[in-house]
Structure 1
């Protein structure tokens, strides 16, 4: 029986898409990703990761943090949708509040000097 669709919302969809892109760019197989995450003590299976990446399962905050760590990226890089870009030339400091999108949710320009 197929699983019912999950309404992930904008950032959940971005997480699934960005997770797939980063993982494939790094050449990491899903089983290897699961093993890396489990080696750090977080219980997650290959099948759960497949469902997260396919947008069929919500990632918990702990899942998302461990996935980002295993993919050697900042969590914010996975949750920001492609139409919202981080301010260029601004270092990441681990807080979403440190970053402003170059466009707001309604598509208008923000005040980025």
Structure 2
């Protein structure tokens, strides 16, 4: 089930330059593993979703391959290769295994994730 987590509390995760373009990193925020992605498709953008892949029951989404399917920016899980939309958290192959998303922004060269 898709869920947005927004309470207005922002945490600085890292410098934007710490995440190579079109890759992700894992951040532990309040005991939750969050996959944070830096996408550079004409300008830097960042996305954050749950790191836990419900298809494989492993915390691996930050290590997936970033790409696009049509207009959607996705990450392919490194285990079973399901695609997760980085904007909505939807699992394209199995929507019942969609993941949560987090608000994320770039400010002062740092990546901030909202909890």
Which structure has the highest helix share of the two? 1
TM range (shorter): under 0.3
Larger CA Rg, structure 1 vs 2: 1
Which structure has the highest strand share of the two? 2
The one of the two structures with greater contact order (alpha-carbon pairs below 8 A, sep at least 6) is 2
TM-score by length of 2: 0.26
TM-score by length of 1: 0.26
